Amino acid sequence: MNVELPPEELRSSISLISRSAVGRAATRFGRVLGGSPSFQAVSRFLRQQLWAWPVISIILFGGTGWWVNESIENAMREQRVADLTAMVEASVYALETWMDEQRINAQLFADDDRLREPVAELLRLSDGTDEVERNLLQCKAQEVLRRRLMSQLKLDGYVGYFLVSPSGVVLAADQDSPVGKSLVGYRKQIFDNALNSESKSTVSTPFSSPLLLKDENGELRTNLPSMFAVAVIRDDADKPLASLGLRIRPESKFTEILQVVRFGKSGETYAFDQNGLLLSQSRFDDQLKQVGLLTDQPNSRSILTLELRDPQVNMIAGERPQLRRADQPLTRLAANAIERKSGHDANGYRDYRGVPSVGAWRWVEKYDMGVGTEMDVAEAFRPAYMLRRAFRLLMALLALSAICIFLAMLFINQQQKVLQATTLAAKQLGQYSLEKKLGAGGMGTVYKARHAMLRRPTAVKLLDLDKMSPKAITRFEREVQLTSTLTHPNTVAIFDFGRTPEGIFYYAMEYLDGMNLEDLVQRFGPVNEARSVYLLKQICGSLSEAHAGGLVHRDIKPANIFLTFRGGLYDFVKVLDFGLVKALDDESGANLTNPNAMTGTPLYMPPEAVIQTESIDARADVYAIGAVGYFLLTGTSVFPIGPVMEVCMKHVSQTPESLSKRLGKPISPDLESLILRCLSKPRESRPNDAQSLLCELEACHIIGTWTSTDAHEWWLANEKSPKLMPTETLSATESTVSKSLSAASEMTVIIPFQSPEQSKR
């Protein structure tokens, strides 16, 4: 290639990136999706905009990650619900089984016939006198009961006993202090329940004993947790004599059952009463002391001390609650269980420490207590959280990659523009040497060029660098492809099309000397009938080929009709600018503009292009040819120049003024009638296509004649005229770029538009 370029390293790097795996992947992506224009546009965009791949990856990976994470969390949530529910049910079953065993054991002790005689004797001494306590303690039966019961109780794991009369007086006990005294409160209720129970036995929930009892270390303390398994002793007539209660230490038996199985480092199962008071030992006593929920004393225990209240902050994390403990609400687990609503919560709530937890719960009606199982959310969903963090890290890396690639693309684009500018400055574009700029339009710039080998003058159209969007490139390619399918001599010929290594899109076509019809009329005034028909017939010849192939130009106007000379033929017409061509049997072009967009040039736009944009056919070009004929014959457009929408609506609703009246002199009736028929509002009144119009033009009776000889003489006569300064141009947009108000009203527009019918809807 005969052109000076920047250093080879820069060109190589850009070329390497354009041929990278990402570019090849985009190509394969387009092939897989199919050959439709929308998919081709996507493929082209992905090949050109490499930064889009990391963005797409972020969206795909992010969506996949979110879906996978949600699926895993939902699966884990369901599994946790199943595990927690199974744990609660198993704990309740084990607890009920154990308590039933204690009730049966108590009944076995109560059914011992050897107890009836001592009990009867003690009952006789509990006559309500002041000497009851002393009489009961000094009674030989007291010693007999202690000796008979204590040895067996210790073997079965009990730590003491109470023998209570139906009136609530303690007849006997493992220690002297309660003997002869009447029970009150919850302790009396325990023994009364046994008397009233159909099973004649019961087991209490843990409670704080006011007696001075030995703890697990053998030290005497008050308010130690206690439980009683109570059964009724009856005489031979099945009359209740007294109730026998066997004392149980709940922290060693009751709590152990609930803590046999637990999840990980944070799972625990516990029991509580209808006030939310903890009936079993928490596994977090040390933590509770650290955060102040328990007094920091060696003997402090959570059992019968801690209420299941939500501090509304994570106290383990060092946060301090705003409300006093008594004012804090019960935890979700405790509140629902107390309301007799067994259930679970795998979405997370705060436990009595304020730690986000998941749990399940059940209310045990038989023993009037609740049982709950909890586990910290962080531990329950640790695998899902690890996966979430991994995806977030991946998303961050992809985002960083997208930013880096975007910055690299900006740098590459900047360097590519430098290369492109250098190429243009070197006046060399592949095999074409650029000689001078001819004009610039809405999409590109046109240069007069010369082919290196053929040495013939050529017009080269370049797509402007700042307009190289995927949509602009698609339009540019489509204009070339559609024009290159047409071979009529009155249609501009395409020689070449391509893209330089620097990324410049271009196509080359025949170079034309002459002027367009707009310049002709502006410089020399209205054209006579014979010459007008001579020119219109050539226009129809070019468009008849397009119409026969199912193509509609959609932008016929004087600026797009070029007048030149070819091979000794003068007044030779070239139809230019097929950029808005519509293929009637192909919807590929529909994607380039909005389906409701109004396309064309307002002064030459048919009514259907304004109100029925989806129904454009060959008769739209016939209307535009009629408007061009009107302009040639009268020197003015069909409707005066004005605001775009005002001009468009005149095409829809206003009847054109007759040509004779506009010109101020008569025009051949056949020609005037044909031109006005081409401008009919109903399409059915116009000739069907350019070929039909050509036939009618040939049959018109007109004033005068115009032959190739007349054209030759006209060009020779005006060759040195200042009016015939060559307009070296290629397309309508280039020829109108420098015009003022007139050009502004005639330029090609693509305007999103609603018809009156659509507006009403």
- Give CA separation, 214 vs 17, 164, 285, 306, 310, in Å: 84, 21, 21, 22, 33
Question: Positive or negative, the Cα torsion across 502, 506, 507, 508?
Answer: negative
Three-state DSSP state, 63: helix
Which two structure tokens, joined as six digits, stand for 719? 């060759």
What does the alpha-carbon distance between residue 122 and residue 105 come to, in Å, rounded to a whole number? Answer: 23
Three-state DSSP state, 203: strand
What does the alpha-carbon distance between residue 664 and residue 679 come to, in Å, rounded to a whole number? Answer: 20
With 0-12 CB in 10 A as exposed, 13-18 as middle and 19+ as buried, what is 681? Answer: middle
DSSP state of 589: G
DSSP state of 740: -
Three-state DSSP state, 603: helix
**Which pLDDT score, from 0 to 100, does residue 202 have?**
92
**Which pLDDT score, from 0 to 100, does residue 51 have?**
60
What does the alpha-carbon distance between residue 87 and residue 374 come to, in Å, rounded to a whole number? Answer: 10
**Which pLDDT score, from 0 to 100, does residue 359 have?**
94
The 3-state secondary structure of 382-416, one letter per residue: HHHHHHHHHHHHHHHHHHHHHHHHHHHHHHHHHHH
Total count of residues recorded for the chain: 761
Which domains, ranges and CATH numbers included, belong to the chain? 111-248 (3.30.450.20), 257-379 (3.30.450.20), 511-760 (1.10.510.10)
Q: DSSP letters of 430-478? A: TTEEEEEEEEE-SSEEEEEEEETTT--EEEEEEE-GGG--HHHHHHHHH
- Please answer whether residues 708 and 571 qualify as being in contact, where contact means their C-beta atoms are separated by less than 8 angstroms: yes
Q: 739: which residues sit within 8 A by CB, 6+ positions away?
A: 746
Q: Which amino acid is at 487?
A: T
Q: 364: which residues sit within 8 A by CB, 6+ positions away?
A: 92, 95, 96, 370, 371
**Which pLDDT score, from 0 to 100, does residue 14 have?**
36
- pTM score > 0.75 for this model? no
The gap between the terminal CA atoms of the chain, to the nearest Å, is 59
- Please answer whether residues 619 and 688 qualify as being in contact, where contact means their C-beta atoms are separated by less than 8 angstroms: yes
What does the alpha-carbon distance between residue 449 and residue 504 come to, in Å, rounded to a whole number? Answer: 15
List the Cα angle 753/593/553 in 5-degree steps: 95
Place of tokens 């944009």: 613
- Please answer whether residues 233 and 243 qualify as being in contact, where contact means their C-beta atoms are separated by less than 8 angstroms: yes
pLDDT digits (tens, 9 = 90+) for 721-754: 655 654 443 333 333 333 333 333 444 444 444 4
DSSP state of 365: G
- Please answer whether residues 492 and 575 qualify as being in contact, where contact means their C-beta atoms are separated by less than 8 angstroms: yes
What does the alpha-carbon distance between residue 427 and residue 449 come to, in Å, rounded to a whole number? Answer: 9
- Give CA separation, 34 vs 27, 39, 43, 415, in Å: 11, 7, 10, 33
* List of the chain residues with pLDDT < 50: 1-35, 584-597, 726-761
**Which pLDDT score, from 0 to 100, does residue 746 have?**
43
Distance from chain centroid for Cα 323: 41
411: number of Cβ within 10 Å:
10
Which two structure tokens, joined as six digits, stand for 319? 């946060």
Which two structure tokens, joined as six digits, stand for 246? 């066997």
Place of tokens 């009463």: 273
Q: Which amino acid is at 425?
A: A
Question: Phi/psi at 160 (nearest 5 deg)?
Answer: 170, -175
- Give CA separation, 410 vs 43, 51, 114, 389, 503, in Å: 20, 10, 102, 31, 14
Q: Which amino acid is at 334?
A: A
What does the alpha-carbon distance between residue 456 and residue 511 come to, in Å, rounded to a whole number? Answer: 9
**HSE of 228 in the Cβ direction (CA atoms, 13 Å)?**
25
Question: Phi/psi at 728 (nearest 5 deg)?
Answer: -85, 100
Q: Which amino acid is at 178?
A: P
Which two structure tokens, joined as six digits, stand for 258? 């609930």
**Which pLDDT score, from 0 to 100, does residue 424 have?**
62
657: number of Cβ within 10 Å:
15
Q: Which amino acid is at 746?
A: E
**HSE of 266 in the Cβ direction (CA atoms, 13 Å)?**
18
What does the alpha-carbon distance between residue 246 and residue 152 come to, in Å, rounded to a whole number? Answer: 11
**Which pLDDT score, from 0 to 100, does residue 725 have?**
52
